[in-house]
Chain A
Amino acid sequence: MSTETGLEPRYTRTRHRTARGIAARSLLYAVLIAIAVVYIFPFLIDLATSFKSEADAAGDPLSLIPQTWTTAAYQRLFLSSDFPVWFKNSVIVTLLVTAGRVFLDSLAGYALARLQFRGRNTLFALLVGVMAVPGVVLLIPKFLVINQLGIYDSYAGMIVPLLTDAAGIFIMKNFFESIPASVEEQARIDGAGPFRVFWSVVLPMARPAVITIVILSFQGSWNELAHFIVSSQSPGLTTLTKGVAQLASGQLSQGTQYPLKLAAAAIMTIPVAIVFFVFQKRILNASDGAVKE
């Protein structure tokens, strides 16, 4: 900022910082705090209700303090329902999908950014085209192929189709293009093959982008519902999203059972919440986001 142009407005601004300025600022805070309450309150209600008794949940849905604390909902979930199985399946699927995406996305991203081969540009154009296909449109098609391949209702059918994603490849390609090529050249002159260069030289440098992929894949596969609906049916392969959705729609039980359902919703939120809070700075400070570091 040049000092001369900056001076005048700043001067007027300080003059405003009198009664009117304070009033305006209080209003700003009041509005933001009100909105923040609206955003946070539902989650607090969720937590509180999960510790309530059924009658209490129905009688006083707004209160954040249960009349009598009870962990009945959690006990039922973990001791006498399929919930642990759902949780286990979600963990398996999420870990494998995240690992697969980190590796395969960066591998393909690197090739598209750096390796010279015929057809590279065509491949990239196809990738962009594929990105444009809306996911829901693929529900039935995916089932058809999974069924045809004989991997319907298996972990393979649930995991393999998610192992790579066009958007992730796109992010990795963009990142690799921002790394100076000189580093790799050096490694190549020292006699390292393409995979060696990728694995030991370039990938370690891509940590910020890799973390972005980890966050997106973790969130994406943990929260995925539609794909698991069309790729599996046996109770032993139900993931959290599918199980809780069926619980909510009353396919598995009768009655309202709000504490039970809300306890399930609370638990399934915890892993993504942890990832969110661990990487909070990276996710929220949008301007100095991963790719630009």
Chain B
Amino acid sequence: MTTYSRQPRRGGLRRGEAASGWLFTAPMIILLGLFLVIPVLMALWVSFSDWGGRGSPFSGSVNFVGFKNYSTLLSGGGLAEQDFGTALKNNAWYVVLVVPLQTALALFLAVMVNRQILRGRGFFRTAFYFPSVTSSVAITVLWLFLFNSTGAVNKALSYLGVVGPNWFNDPAGIFHFGATSGPAFLEKSTALGVPLWDWIGGPSVAMFALILLAVFTTSGTFMLLFVAALQNLGGDIQEAAMMDGATGWQRFWRVTLPQLRPTLFTVLTLGLIGCWQVFDQIYTGTQGGPAKTTMTPAYLSYTSSFVNQSWGQGAAIAFILFVIIVFFTLFQRWVLRERAVSKRRMRQYTVATTAATSTPVAPAMAAGAAADTGEENER
């Protein structure tokens, strides 16, 4: 009985697995293939074509135009280039301000909310996380009300003796500090059709209101990622640091933060990817105005295609955006890479301690791996 009656049975257990494997994954393959892979290829073709939105992009009347759509955007010298440059400028400032602000705020909130002595931790977490679950449309509607010229924000500012700006109608760059025109050399020289003076002007006041919105809605999500990571850290390194007489401040910067590096990387990456895709808020709130200062590449790609019927250009913008996102993700990965401890640092360690506390890297990685599995739940 043992050998040959078992053998076929074994085969029976595994038989049909390949078939059902493909069967089980077939819906996924079809759906993702149809609505993710093929679309990308199709759009790639459109970005090299002169398709005008009518009929099939594969019909005989549609021509291959090479890099024309791309060159119009990047060096055409016309309105298309100027709009694209403006959109890039706006979004770049948005990224530069939102990513650090939301990360810092999320980390701060997580550390605060994670304190054992704090009562009402549940309440605070709920309060900080709630904006993250609501739709961007609802929040934008609310923001339009709060930040209108006679709205709640300006009313609150007036109690402090500050005259608030006309937020969503103010195209002035916040780093121009009220100056209406800059030195000639900055006004004359341009990049992507946009004067350097505008590039350095920072986000417009209107865009700044959207920046606040982004920080408001995403800090809660990222706070949860940090909380998860903090809870996975063992207490022993902290205690060892305490024994060595490190203050709370030192412990945060020298012990906790290095251990959070993997989560920090996740948060920065997700933040960066998300920030380059601002669309909902613009569509709902500002439609790119005032004076195109809240125009973003994502929204420009939409209007170029769906409103102006320049489908090739719209698709080209989408692909340039894709390249930008990939580039910055890789760049960030490179900046935040695990470096070998520098010689000078190393000397400090060997002089100061013997062995026990000098290698926070291994536990940090373990915590990171644990945090990674926790993170998927939240997104």
A residues near B (Cβ < 8 Å) are 1, 5-6, 8-9, 12, 25, 28-29, 31-32, 35-36, 39-40, 42-43, 45-46, 49, 57-58, 60-62, 104, 107-108, 110-112, 115-120, 123, 127, 130, 132-146, 148-149, 160-161, 163-164, 166-167, 169-171, 174, 185, 188-189, 193-195, 198, 212, 216, 219, 222-223, 225-226, 229-230, 240-241, 244-245, 247-249, 256, 258, 261-262, 264-266, 268-269, 272-273, 275-276, 280, 283-284, 286-287, 289-292
**CB closest residue in chain A, given B228:** A286
In contact, B18 and A286 (Cβ under 8 angstroms): no
Residues in B with CB closer than 8 Å to A166 are 32
Near A by CB (< 8 A), chain B positions 293-326 give: 298, 301-302, 305-306, 311, 314-315, 318-319, 321-322, 325-326
In contact, B22 and A169 (Cβ under 8 angstroms): no
Q: Given contacts A1-B235, A118-B18, is CB(A145)–CB(B31) below 8 Å?
A: no
**CB-contact partner of A287 in B127, B130, B232, under 8 A:** B232
Q: Given contacts A137-B318, A219-B133, is CB(A248)–CB(B140) below 8 Å?
A: yes
Q: Separation in Å of the B22 CB from the closest CB of chain A?
A: 6
At the interface, yes or no: B25 with Cβ under 8 Å from chain A?
A: yes
Q: How far is the CA of A136 from the CA of B231 in the complex (A)?
A: 34
In contact, B112 and A284 (Cβ under 8 angstroms): no
**CB-contact partner of A133 in B13, B128, B322, under 8 A:** B322
Residues in B with CB closer than 8 Å to A1 are 235-236, 239
Residues in A with CB closer than 8 Å to B18 are 115-118
In contact, B57 and A115 (Cβ under 8 angstroms): no
Near A by CB (< 8 A), chain B positions 120-137 give: 122-131, 133-137
Q: How far is the CA of A134 from the CA of B284 in the complex (A)?
A: 20
Q: How far is the CA of A284 from the CA of B150 in the complex (A)?
A: 36
> Does more than half of chain A's interface fall in helix, strand or loop, or is it mixed?
helix
Residues in A with CB closer than 8 Å to B14 are 116
At the interface, yes or no: B378 with Cβ under 8 Å from chain A?
A: yes
**CB-contact partner of B377 in A12, A108, A245, A290, under 8 A:** A290
Q: Separation in Å of the B36 CB from the closest CB of chain A?
A: 5
Residues in B with CB closer than 8 Å to A249 are 283-285, 287
In contact, B315 and A141 (Cβ under 8 angstroms): yes
Q: How many inter-chain residue pairs (CB < 8 Å) link A and B?
A: 313
20 contacts between A and B (CB under 8 A): A1-B236, A5-B239, A6-B239, A9-B239, A12-B242, A32-B113, A61-B152, A145-B39, A160-B31, A161-B31, A189-B13, A216-B379, A223-B135, A245-B280, A261-B144, A268-B137, A269-B135, A273-B134, A289-B374, A291-B376
